[in-house]
Copies of this chain bind each other. A is one copy, B any other.
């Protein structure tokens, strides 16, 4: 493993070391409460200067993943929520089941128009008026997911205000006469958080996120709502349940 490849990647060495250490934590090599190897040892492992390691550890400490104790060492903190992938996933149940306090916040409700992709998902024409709802979800006050939801403005007039009032997508759909719906598609990929989401999720720029695109349909298969969720990968892992 050579650390000299970074010139072509646009990622600072200290950042790569920080990511590597975090990976070690994520992979269970270092459990919560355990001590990391010393700075000199890490420097040797990654073939970098000790100061570079210090810079990396400072970044991790700032994010609360580790805690340095002068003279003693650097200790690990942090844990991830297991988030099951189901047709209908109740956020509060899942987070609550892990002994954490779920929370939510409406960021913004606004008008939008259907891009080609959204038009396709919602079975509308490009340019059709949409309602766009931005929301944020917490576990123990730590943000874990930002979601952008789109509905047809024609089918769901004033949906933004309704959602602001009801604070639930299921209830919003009920308000408009939808009694039953199901998840038609879910697509998962990974990306790098953008600056807006980084601020909302309280993660550093450059961090990985899980991106989930989903569309819900009525019993006849007609699209109702499409959503793009961005999960902080350092706080959430998805569970595929087999049955």
Contact = CB atoms under 8 A, between A and B. Distances in A.
A95 interface: no
B115 A28 contact: yes
A188 to B, nearest CB: 4
Interface stretch (A64-72, A129-137, A169-177, A235-243): A235-243
Contact of A187 (B12, B18, B238): B238
A85 to B, nearest CB: 6
Interface residues of A, number: 61
B5 A11 contact: no
Interface in A1-59: 1-3, 5-6, 8-12, 14-16, 18-20, 23, 26-29, 31, 55, 59
Interface stretch (A98-106, A138-146, A159-167, A178-186): A178-186
Contacts of A59: 8, 10
Interface in A93-120: 115-117
Given A116-B28, A117-B27, A209 B186 contact: no
Contacts of A116: 28, 31
Nearest to A16: B205
A183 B12 CA distance: 39
A189 B237 contact: yes
Nearest to A28: B117
A189 B210 contact: yes
A188 B211 CA distance: 12
A222 interface: no
